[in-house]
Amino acid sequence: MPSDFDKPYDPKAVEPEIYEKWEKSGFFNPDKLPKKWTKTFTIIMPPPNANGALHIGHAVFVTLEDIMTRFERMRGKKTLWLPGADHAGFETQVVFDKKLEKEGRSRFKIPREELYKEMLSFTLENKKIMETQLRKLGASCDWSREKFTLDPEIITTVYDTFKKLYGDGLVYRENKIVNWCTKHQTTLSDLEVKYVERKDPLYYIRYGPVTLATVRLETKFGDTAVAVNPKDKRYKNLVGKEIEIKTLLGPAKIKVIADGAVDQKFGTGAVKVTPAHDPNDFEIWKRHKDEIPGPRVVIDQYGRMDLREFWDRPNSKKYHGLKVMEARKIMEEDMQKEGLMVKIDPDYAHAVATCYKCGTILEPRILPQWFVRMTAKPSLRDLAVRAVKKGEVKFIPARTEKIFMHWMKNLRDWNISRQIVWGIRIPAWYCGCAEIIVSPDPPAKCPKCGSKNLVQDPDVFDTWFSSGQWPFATLGYPNGKDFKTFYPTDVMETGHDILFFWVARMIMLGLYRTGKIPFRTVYLHGLVRDKDRQKMSKSKDNVIDPLGVAELYGTDALRLALVIGNTAGNDIIISEEKIRGYRNFANKIWNATRFVLQEIKKSPPKAEKSDKIKLGKLKRLVKETTRDLESHRFHHAAEHLYHFFWHYYADKVIEEMKKKPNPLLLLEFHRTLIKLLHPFLPHITEKIWEELPGPAGGKNKKLLMIESWPKP
C-alpha cells in the first residue's frame, strides 16, 4: 500500500494537489478535450459579486454546476463552464458606502473619477480572492475564458444592445415618478422595492366641504386637486368646481375632479391629489392635465420638507426643512388646533414601499430616467413568454414556470437609470435641445441644433441590464467563435431569488439580441438556511463559511452535504453535523480503497466466476445514477450512491469478499463506484483513481475527470 494511503483520509493533504493537476492538464478548457468530442455542453456561471468573500450560497452553485460539468465531460461532451465576476453595481455601491462610512468618509464628497478608481481596485481585489476560493471548492471551470462584467468587450456589447433598443423604440427617456431611496440617493427598479406591512395613523382631514383620508399628511402642501369617483353621488355637485379650503398655510382654493381610480368605499371616497409625491396621484394628474395644476414638489431628495414655493405664506418656514415624519407629527397637532382634523384612525394597516437594502421608506420623485419598454407590442416580454410557452426554456422545478409567467403578466416598464458612480455609464448625450444622442463616445456636435456643448447622462445602468446580457456577451456575440459553438447554452443554474432580476431579463434580452434563447434549462436552487430553518446572517451568528468548513472537513464532504436532501427550488438546510457525516463517508471510501488495494496486492485480479446478481445491482445503479443526473435529480443520485456504497458495497460485498475473495469483481465494483462518485466528490475520487489499477493491471494513466462514464 502506498504510504500516502494512511488512515484516516486527510482532505487537506489531497485537495490542493489534485486541483493543481486538473488545472495543469488543461481539460477545463473544452478546446483541449479530445477532438472527437464534438457535442457541446455549456454552463455560464452566475458571476459572483466581487464585493466580498464567497458565502455558502456560492458553494451551492459551484457544487451543482460542477456536478453537471463533470458528468457531461465524462460522457464525452465538449464541456464549457465559463466563470466570471460581477461588478454588481448598486450592491457593491452599498457595500462600499458602508466601508467609507466606517472610515468617516462619504461617497457624496468624493469626485466621480476618484471614487470609481477606488471602487475598481476594491472590486478587483475581491475578484482575486474569489477566484482562489472557487478553485478551493473544486470548480472545474475554464479559467482561460473568465469574464468580468466591466471588461471592455462586455461593455461594448451592452452599449450595442442599448443602441439597438433605442433605435427600435424599446428604451426611452421620460420624466416619471420613480422609487427614490433618500439614503442611497438613487432610484430603484420596482423589483428593488420591498413592501412592508406597517401600522400608521390614517388622518381624516377637512378640505372645506369635503373630508378626506390620508396617511401622508405632510404631502398635503403639494396637493393640486381633490378627486372623487365619477359615480359617487355624494360629491356629484362638487365635481369640476373649485372649493375654498383652510390650510396650515392660510386659505386656498382647490379643484374637485372625477376619476375612476378612486374607490368610493375607501375612507370618505374622496382623495387628495399630490402628483409630485404619489404614484397614483401622478397617474391621475396625467389623465387630468388640462384641468389641474402640475406636480408641486414639497419634499426634497433627502426626505425633508421643501416649502420654498410657499415662502410668502404664513407658517411655511415652520415646516420647511423638517424630516417627513417630524413634519407629519407637528402638522397633526397643528391641524387639530386649527380644527382641520376630523378624526384619526391610529392603527391603519397598510404596505409601505421601502429600500430592499436599507429599509428606508422610499420617497417617490419625478425624475428623467431611462426605461425599457415592456408593455408595448411587440415587446421584450412577448418574446420571452412565447419562447417559454413553446417549451424552448424548461424550468426546474416545473412550478417555477407558473411563477415566471405570473410575473411577466404583471410587468411594467423597467427603470434602468441609477444615480450612482459604480457601473456602466449610460451612453447618452444631451445638449439642451430635445435631441438625445446615443453613443459610447462623445459626439462632436448635436446634429439637430449644432451645439458642441454636450454632456453625458450622469447615471449608470441598473446592473441587471448589463448582466441580463451575460450569456451572449461572454461568448463574444455576434462574431465570436465561442458564440457559434456554445450558444444557446444548456443550463442556467442559479438561486430562485433572482428569477426575475436576472433569469427573466436574460431570456428577454437574449432573445431580443440574438434571436435565440440563452439557455435551454433553468435550474433554480433555494436559499441556504441553518438546521433550525433560520436564514444565515452575521447578526444571528449562524453563518457557515464554506471555505472554513471545507478546510475542516474537506471540500468533498461539504459538497455532498449541500446536495443530499436538497431538492430544486426548496431551501437548503445545512449544518456542521451534516457536513461531518459526509466527511465520514469520504473516510469510508478511503478505507474501502485501502482494502481493495490490499486485496489486489495479495492476489492479482484474474477471471473468476462472475456474480450476476452483484453485477446486476451495480448495473442498475449506473442506470439510475445516469438517469437522475440527466434529469437534474442530483440529490437522488447522491443519496443512492451513498447508500449503495456504504450499505451494499461496503457492508455486504466487501464483507463477503473477506471470506470468498474475488479481486476482479471487487475491482470492477470499485472502479465503477469511484467513477459514479466523481462528480460529487471530485478530489478524493481523483486521488484514488491514481492508485487504482486498470482492468488490465497497471495504474490508471488518464485523469478520472476525462475518463468515460460507466455505460448504463
Partner RNA sequence: GCGCGGUUAGCUCAGUGGUAGAGCAUCGCUUUUACACAGCGAGGGUCGGGAGUUCAAAUCUCUCACCGCGCACCA
Q: How far is the CB of 49 from RNA (least distance, A)?
A: 19
Residue 367, interface with RNA (CB under 7 A)?
no
Please select the residue that binds RNA; options are 29, 185, 456, 591, rule is CB under 7 A. 591
CA–CA separation, 542 vs 531, rounded Å? 10
- For RNA, the binding residues in 470-499 under the rule CB under 7 A are none
Instruction: Decide if residue 567 touches RNA (CB under 7 A).
Output: yes
By the rule CB under 7 A, 643 interacts with RNA: yes
Would you count residue 608 as binding RNA (CB under 7 A)?
Answer: no
What span, in angstroms and rounded, lies between the C-alpha atoms of 185 and 164?
29
Which residues in 48-77 contact RNA (CB under 7 A)?
none
For RNA, give the closer residue by CB, 119 or 205: 205
| Candidate residues 127, 145, 184, 635; the one interacting with RNA per rule CB under 7 A | 635
Give the binding range for RNA (CB under 7 A) out of 454-462, 505-513, 542-550, 630-638.
Answer: 630-638
Site of grid cell 471510501: 589
Closer by beta carbon to RNA, 271 or else 509: 271
Q: Which is nearer to RNA, 252 or 498 (CB)?
A: 498
β partners of residue 82 = 44
Ranges assigned E (strand) in 478-576: 489-495, 519-525, 528-529, 572-573
Q: Which is nearer to RNA, 84 or 303 (CB)?
A: 303
Q: Is 663 in the site for RNA (CB under 7 A)?
A: no
| Nearest approach, Cβ of residue 155 and RNA (Å) | 28
The answer to whether 587 contacts RNA (rule: CB under 7 A) is yes
The CB-of-633 to RNA minimum distance in angstroms stands at: 7
- Member of 56, 74, 150, 271 binding RNA (CB under 7 A): 271
For every residue of 444-475, which 3-state class applies, written as one string? CCCCCCCCCCCEECCCEECHHHHHCCHHHHHC
Can residue 7 be called a binding residue for RNA (CB under 7 A)? yes
User: What's the one-letter identity of residue 639?
Assistant: E
Q: How many CB atoms lie within 10 A of CB 34?
A: 10
The values of phi and psi at residue 375, to 5°, are -100, -15
Residues 568 and 597 sit within 8 Å (Cβ to Cβ): no
Complex with RNA: residue 438 or 499, whichever CB lies closer:
499
Question: Which position among 100, 213, 299, 421 is part of the footprint of RNA (CB under 7 A)?
Answer: 213
Q: Which of 150, 155, 78 is nearest to 116 (CA)?
A: 150
139 versus 212: smaller Cβ distance to RNA: 212
Q: Which helix (H) or strand (E) holds 512?
A: helix 505-514
Q: Is there binding between residue 280 and RNA (CB under 7 A)?
A: yes
Cβ within 8 Å of residue 688, ≥6 positions away: 589, 590, 593, 674
Residue with Cβ nearer RNA (45 or 684): 684
Residue number with CB closer to RNA (151 or 332): 332
Residue in 35, 109, 406, 711 binding RNA, rule: CB under 7 A? 406
59-89 b/e (C-beta count within 10 Å ≥ 16 → b): bbbbbbbbbbbbbbbbbbbbbbbbbbbbbbb
For RNA, the binding residue among 266, 358, 449, 627 (CB under 7 A) is 266
Contact status: 279 vs RNA (CB under 7 A): yes
Strands 519-525 and 394-396: parallel
Residue 710 grid cell? 460507466
Using CB under 7 A, which of 293, 480, 565, 661 touches RNA? 565
Looking only at the bridges linking them, the beta strands covering 270-273 and 225-228 are: antiparallel
- Should residue 661 be labelled a site residue for RNA when binding is judged by CB under 7 A? no
581 lies in the site for RNA, by CB under 7 A: yes
Spacing of C-alpha 580 from chain mean position:
30
Residue with smaller CB distance to RNA, 230 or 565: 565
Stretch that binds RNA, among 163-171, 264-272, 334-342, 443-451 (CB under 7 A): 264-272
| Nearest partner of 587 among 549, 553, 539, 548, judged by Cα | 553
Cell output for 427: 451612453
- Of 76, 132, 73, nearest to 679 by C-alpha is 73
> Is 594 a residue that touches RNA (CB under 7 A)?
yes
Q: At what angle do helices 612-630 and 663-677 cross, to 10 degrees?
A: 10
Is 296 an interacting residue with respect to RNA (CB under 7 A)? no
Tell whether residue 204 is a contact of RNA (CB under 7 A).
no
Bridge partners of 395, per DSSP, are 522
Does 559 contact RNA by CB under 7 A? no
571 near RNA (CB under 7 A): yes
User: Segment near RNA (CB under 7 A), from 30-38, 56-64, 504-512, 637-645?
Assistant: 637-645
Least distance in Å: CB of 98 to RNA?
A: 23
Size of the site for RNA (CB under 7 A): 71
DSSP code for 534: P
H helices of 566-662, in order, are 576-602, 612-630, 634-643, 655-659
Instruction: Identify residues 407-426 at the interface with RNA (CB under 7 A).
Output: 407, 410, 412
DSSP 433: S
Determine the Cα angle at 487 with ends 482 and 490, to 5°: 125
- Alpha carbon distance, N-terminus to C-terminus of the chain: 32
Residues 507-536 that bind RNA (CB under 7 A): 529, 531-533
Min. distance of Cβ 287 from RNA in angstroms? 12
Q: Judged by CB under 7 A, does residue 542 bind RNA?
A: no
- Residues 6 or more apart from 4 whose CB is under 8 A from it? 13
Identify which of residues 465 and 472 has a Cβ nearer to RNA in the complex: 465
Pick one of 373, 578, 614, 670: the residue that binds RNA (CB under 7 A). Answer: 578
Provide, rounded to whole angstroms, the least separation between the CB of residue 157 and RNA.
27
